[in-house]
Amino acid sequence: MRKRIAFVMALVSLLVGTAAWPGALPPASVAEAAGGTIRVALFIDIGELYRDTRPAYTLSSPSGLTVYGAAGGSRVAYLSAGSGQAVKVAVDTPVLRWSTGPFASLDEARAMQSRIRAAVQNGALAAGAAPRVAALPENGSVRYYVWTGNDTTPEAHQKTGVVLEQLVPERSFEPVDVLLKRVFPNGSPRYVLIDWPGGAVALWTAANEVVRLVPKPSGGVPVTAVAEKRGRTYRGEMEVRVVDGKLALINELPLEQYLYGVVGVEIGGSSPPEALKAQAVIARTYALRARSANKPKYKVAHLSDSTFDQAYQGYKAENDAVRRAVDATSGMVLTYNGQLAETLYYSNAGGMTADGSEVWGNPVPYLKPVASPDTLPHDSAPVWYRVAAPGGIVGYVHSGYVKTLQERHPLGLSYGVTTTSLNVRIGPSAQLPVRTVLPGGTRVVLLETVKENNPYRWIAGPFTGEALAEMINNGTSLPVVGRVEHLEVAKRGPSGRVIELRANGLPIAVKYPDQYRSLFRETTSSGSTVPLRSTKFDVEEMGRFAVLAAGGKTAEFPDRSVSLAAVSASGGVSQPNGASDVFFALGASGRLRVVAKDAVFRFHGAGYGHGLGLSQYGAISMAKNGKSYNDILQHYYPGTTIEKR
């Protein structure tokens, strides 16, 4: 059974007219005309590669919308929505209805609708059988019918037909499906259903038809607002269609205008002009590569609006600086040996960009490790303390809420006191879970001073051995038996990124090295999980340490055959740090270390993203130091050429 699309909106007038229709997805020659357009999937489901849809989309425009339908190479203006009037789009399941008509005018059809509606109100027809005016495009004009019924079985449908013939004996009725086959013998049915009492209009179309919503010209920039995108507004046209049984929403607009909505989101609209220009060139190159692909990645769209491709947030993401940067580099792209380069980019390289072999497992000539000035977010990050709190609790607190004391701990550590009720978190970030809450005035020991997690430096964890084993077993084909007791970096690539990780002595099998980022996921304070920020990390095994025992013997932990105890000065024996899962060990060098009583791990990382190509923080830093966008691009993509196309 074919699915249909239903549009519900405020009462509007019907428009008549036809225009040429470019088809579902224009070929490159069409897309390149008049500066070229790009098709961006705001919502689409293409299977495992990308799934983001909604059951309905609500669109409006300050200047009003014109709704077009298209099939068989023609484009028909169905109806018009006024300023701010919402058009709601949803996938509908077909039902059985009866049709009578055509009527000479919309007014005549409305009169018949009112007559049948009275029968619904007095109970002669089921409440769900409310009549609607149907407008069908026929030979370049619109003809009107009245459709009644909401039946799902042939028996109920037949009963409704009998009642209608009794109510309106002077009119003939036929099943809607019969009408549509007669009006559209060789094509997809197209029609508009109008429900006047509720002030609603519903547009129904076959699944293989394209529907376009176009903002009307205005004194400013014509835009369309999408409620399901938090009310964001977009230039260009909106297209609604069913793709693989799910409702898709596509935004088609000129390529350069698309870049207006990308550049500021990706690198920040207040970035230095030369950094904005560099971002514009690589974003344009990325989009053109996607547009020129033989098989569109998203079937009926070139790109998504997410970071799976390039973050795109439409008109409200624009500003004058971004538009100037895009305009100043109009048509400029990055090439290698005459072909569009793969202009990958990301947030922060952690001081050194990646080699292709560290991400995909194979080298790329113009994606080589280069030094990257990435410290900006680290330099400005707030300071956190790792503290030991009463009850053996160890965690992180924001330094702004702790007053340091003059008194020193016997090990030379500082004391502090909380100035207000304070969350103790598992890591140095307000986005991480709370371990406990300390009342104001609580005395703590300051174990370590660190910067808040940021794109340049970060700490992830702690993770238990059981949790790591579950992540590995869910994400790889070679499971870990039992829990992870030992996790080590076995190999690093040219930039220091991890290319092989071993658990309990065996390699963790991933398809490509960058997959280690998504394999391990950290739980945030909201309960969601996020992947590691990069593969440029070290592993801290908190439960692995050595203890020098009596007689010069050494005990290696974790070791389930050996128990660990703390001996006090008076000779008392107890669990280290009581019931806490961690305790403190003072090494031979005098360094105090927080160690775990069991297999527990943390990742100490640098950078944010895959590391290939341009580091956005690095580009900003270079621009602040007087480098041009040309300098920036040549630095991050050595051997490439900047040219205008």
Cβ(82)–Cβ(64) under 8 Å?
yes
Beta bridge partners of 458: 605
> How many Cα neighbours within 13 Å face the side chain of 330?
9
Q: Please give the Cα distance from 484 to 466 (Å, whole number).
A: 6
Low-confidence ranges of the chain (pLDDT < 70): 1-35, 69-74, 78, 90-93, 140, 188, 190, 192-209, 544-580, 582-590
Structure tokens of 93?
């399941």
DSSP helix/strand/coil, 638: coil
How many C-beta atoms surround the C-beta of residue 376 within 10 A? 17
DSSP helix/strand/coil, 116: helix
Question: Tokens 């879970």 label which residue?
Answer: 433
Q: Please give the Cα distance from 181 to 183 (Å, whole number).
A: 6
Question: Tokens 């999408």 label which residue?
Answer: 226
Q: Please give the Cα distance from 332 to 537 (Å, whole number).
A: 36
- For residue 247, give the nearest of 287, 200, 300, 201 by alpha carbon: 300
Find the radius of gyration of the CA atoms of the chain.
32
Q: Please give the Cα distance from 405 to 416 (Å, whole number).
A: 5
Cβ(357)–Cβ(499) under 8 Å?
yes
Cβ(285)–Cβ(633) under 8 Å?
no
Q: Please give the Cα distance from 152 to 399 (Å, whole number).
A: 65
Determine which helix (DSSP H) or strand (DSSP E) holds 250, and give its type and residue range.
strand 246-254
For 573-601, the pLDDT digits (tens) are 445 555 457 656 665 566 777 877 788 99
- Give the pLDDT confidence score for residue 514 in this predicted structure: 96
- In this structure, what DSSP letter does residue 352 have? B
- Give the pLDDT confidence score for residue 30 in this predicted structure: 30
Cβ(83)–Cβ(224) under 8 Å?
no
Q: Please give the Cα distance from 249 to 259 (Å, whole number).
A: 19
Cβ(389)–Cβ(444) under 8 Å?
yes
How many C-beta atoms surround the C-beta of residue 287 within 10 A? 26
**Contact residues for 445 (Cβ-Cβ < 8 A; gap 6+):** 387, 388, 409, 413, 414, 415, 416
- Give the pLDDT confidence score for residue 196 in this predicted structure: 43
- Provide the residue type at 417 as one letter: V
Structure tokens of 210?
């394209």
DSSP helix/strand/coil, 234: strand
- In this structure, what DSSP letter does residue 186 have? T
Cis-peptide, bond into residue 462, ω within 30° of zero: yes
- Give the pLDDT confidence score for residue 454 in this predicted structure: 98
Q: Please give the Cα distance from 592 to 587 (Å, whole number).
A: 6
CATH number attached to the domain at 95-186: 3.30.70
- Give the pLDDT confidence score for residue 546 in this predicted structure: 57
- For residue 114, give the nearest of 11, 196, 199 by alpha carbon: 196
Q: Strands 529-531, 592-596: parallel, antiparallel or unpaired by DSSP?
A: unpaired
What is the dihedral sign for C-alpha 570, 571, 572, 575? Answer: positive
